[in-house]
Amino acid sequence: MKQNRPGGVFHPSSFILHTSYFILHTSYFFDAASARVVRLQVGRLRASQAVYRKPAKPVETQPMARKTTTQEEKSPKEAASPAQPRPSSGSLFGLCLAAWLVPGLGHFMLGRKGRAVVLFLAIVGMFLCGLAMQGQFFATGSPSYLHTLGYFAELSIGVPMPAATFFGYGGGNVYFVCSDYGTAFLISAGMLNVLTVLDAYDIALGRKS
């Protein structure tokens, strides 16, 4: 350390600093050395005691069996997802597309029929309640970013949205007393379908049982 102060290392502050470093390191050295000395003495003591100790009865030793994980000892993640080949990107894409188009269809394709039915009823039921309350269908041509986001949120429900338009739903009535609640129901149904798609994706990859 370059000493620019008058007196260099003999300046009081530098002296104190260097002295403290010296004490700290030497104490550490002595601690380490003393610990080593103690270990040596303990080792010698144990060795001396072993001379007078009755030899232990030889125990039939079995070769150390390598611990193999049984089915019960597997971690939940491993048990939930046994080794399976990763599905191809095309099949994953098709699964996600199907799960998006029809709520619950992804789970149905993966064999989770009960879940598929419940998800379909809940999400489509929520969507229908939104329609019944005259919820608003957003459009992409709106100058508001929130409306554009709302459009994509409602589109996330899949086929039900264009189907409602096809069967004569006029996009809602903003002057209806429950229209805001209906809009919230429509958007939330779309968002729940996004969760469903992600869940189907995770199940297909083996991340979830």
Partner 1 sequence: MVLSHFEALTLFSFFVSVVFAVLSKQTLREQLIYGVKVFIAFVGIAVVLGWIMLPFA
Q: How far is the CB of 95 from partner 1 (least distance, A)?
A: 16
User: Using CB atoms within 10 A of its CB, is residue 141 exposed (0-12), middle (13-18) or buried (19+)?
Assistant: exposed
CB 192, min distance to partner 1, A: 5
The answer to whether 5 and 13 are in contact (CB under 8 A) is yes
Among 133, 153, 164, 204, binds partner 1 (CB under 8 A): 133
Least Cβ distance, residue 130 to partner 1 (angstroms): 10
Q: Are 176 and 130 spatial neighbours (Cβ–Cβ below 8 Å)? A: no
C-alpha dihedral over 182, 185, 189, 195, to 10 degrees? Answer: 150
User: One-letter amino acid identity for 101?
Assistant: L
Instruction: Find where tokens 């611990």 sit.
Output: 67
CB 40: neighbour CB atoms within 10 A? 10
| One character per residue 30-69, x = contact with partner 1 (rule: CB under 8 A) | ----------------------------------------
Contact pick of 105, 119, 153, 204 for partner 1 (by CB under 8 A): 119
The closest alpha carbon to 96, from 158, 54, 17, 11, belongs to 158
**Site for partner 1, residues 160 to 179, rule: CB under 8 A:** 177-178
- The nearest distance, CB 178 to partner 1, in angstroms, is 6
- Judged by beta carbon, residue 115 or residue 138, the one nearer partner 1 is 115
Binding site for partner 1 (CB under 8 A): 115, 118-119, 122-123, 125-126, 129, 132-133, 177-178, 181, 184-185, 188-189, 192, 195-196, 199, 209
